[in-house]
Amino acid sequence: MLPRYSPIPDSDVEKQPLVDQPYSTCHCQQVHEQQRRRGPSKSNILILSLLILLALGYGHQYRNSHDTIDLSNVAISSEPQEIQDSLTQYCHETSAFVPWDGKTVYDLETGVTGLAVEQKFLGNHVSPLAGNVVVVENKALETPRVTFDIKLEDDEYQDSVWIDEVIVGSTLSLTVKHTERVVRTCVRVDVKVEVPSASALDDLSLQFPNNDITLATRLQVKNALDLSAARGDLTAQAPTTSSKISLSTASGNINGVFDVDQVEFSASAASGNLALAFDHISATSTIKASSASGNVGVQVPSDFQSQLDLNVVVGNVKVKATETEKLHIRRTGGIVGHTVRGYYGTDADAPSHIKLNSVSGNVNLTFQ
């Protein structure tokens, strides 16, 4: 049970912008970062000191925490890391330029309201070039449509790629697969999903190893929305609604605008920044956002009452509210590890919960 809280004055509310400066979406930046990390350290002493601080503080800070960064559903390739690195260096943007000659357009049948699209590998000899997956609205369509644009390194590899098409119940699954017979080759997969209306799909799952995934139109997905990438940014450009939203990337940023109702929302990145804005949230929603290495910024409406649980190991926690009398928080922490717990509103036991975590980065929460 939390101690009794009292409203805090304006002067005690920490002022800091919620959303960081725009992040680069260029995949060459990732190559630059990889090269930089392989280079010699500027200060071995500084790194050693940081590791010692992490060792001393991380376990203490999170020993009672039940929340971890969940990347279990990220579409990570089964390739050993050293093979992935060598293939990434071998491949470049002009490596794959031969169009695949298989079927590339799929129209959902009437009554099919669920869609799952993903890319998988058999073996460890195919390297995916950076591609794009985009969801747009096309009112001229009667049912949703999926269009693939697949490019190969050489025409002789035409039979090394295929798309599995499976309908289970009311869900169509389309999986791009690559055979393990081909040695050392590159492929690029771009996908466009067109929907006739915002509510055309009850379920939507997009999982790719090296693609940016962008929701370029407003979506109202009835049951569940699942977006994941091993390497790529996830972006919702227009308010997105679903009963369950899951966003995860191993290396990339997550940015979005959401309008949710009785939602279970989770967003996680192993290496990347999160900037999430909620236009509306129901009184029974749970919002979870975390990054192992990156900043976490969340903006929610000023009328959203919620319990708060914000944690960082190395970084700062900032909370901002336009109605400061509703903010009741307690801070704990030392040199390593900072925690803010409490509630916003008039109910200390509000059914809604906001849980934000970063191992190395800042956490910013704004009520406005």
The DSSP element (H or E) to which 323 belongs, if any, is: none
- Contact in structure between 191 and 209 (CB atoms under 8 Å): no
The DSSP element (H or E) to which 20 belongs, if any, is: none
User: What pLDDT score does 261 carry?
Assistant: 74
Q: How confident is the model at residue 181 (pLDDT cuts 50, 70, 90)?
A: low
User: What pLDDT score does 282 carry?
Assistant: 86
pLDDT(50) > 80? no
pLDDT(179) > 60? yes
- Contact in structure between 264 and 284 (CB atoms under 8 Å): no
Mean pLDDT of 184-194: 91
CA angle 169, 170, 172 (to 5 degrees): 100
- Contact in structure between 240 and 281 (CB atoms under 8 Å): no
User: With pLDDT > 90 as the criterion, what percentage of the chain qualifies?
Assistant: 62
User: What pLDDT score does 153 carry?
Assistant: 86
- Contact in structure between 196 and 137 (CB atoms under 8 Å): yes
Over residues 252-295, the pLDDT tens digits come to 999 999 987 767 999 999 999 999 999 988 889 999 999 999 99
| Two structure tokens written together for 293 | 């290495």
Mean pLDDT of 296-323: 97
pLDDT(38) > 80? no
Handedness of CA 197, 198, 203, 209 (dihedral sign): positive
Q: What is the dihedral of CA 43, 317, 357, 36, to 10 degrees?
A: -30
More confidently predicted of 282 and 342: 342
* Average pLDDT along the chain: 81
| Strand pairing class (234-251; 211-215) | parallel
Kindly report the number of other CB atoms within 10 A of residue 105's CB atom.
9
Instruction: Supply φ then ψ for residue 85, to 5 degrees.
Output: -65, -45
User: What pLDDT score does 278 carry?
Assistant: 95
Mean pLDDT of 173-183: 80
Over residues 139-164, the pLDDT tens digits come to 999 999 999 999 998 898 898 899 99
pLDDT(320) > 80? yes
User: What pLDDT score does 85 carry?
Assistant: 47
CA angle 67, 256, 109 (to 5 degrees): 100
User: What pLDDT score does 5 carry?
Assistant: 44
DSSP 74-107: S---SS-HHHHHHHHHH--TTS--EEP-S--EEE
pLDDT(187) > 80? yes
CA angle 215, 221, 222 (to 5 degrees): 170
- Contact in structure between 354 and 329 (CB atoms under 8 Å): no
pTM, entire model? 0.77
Over residues 211-254, the pLDDT tens digits come to 999 999 999 999 999 999 999 999 999 999 999 999 999 999 99
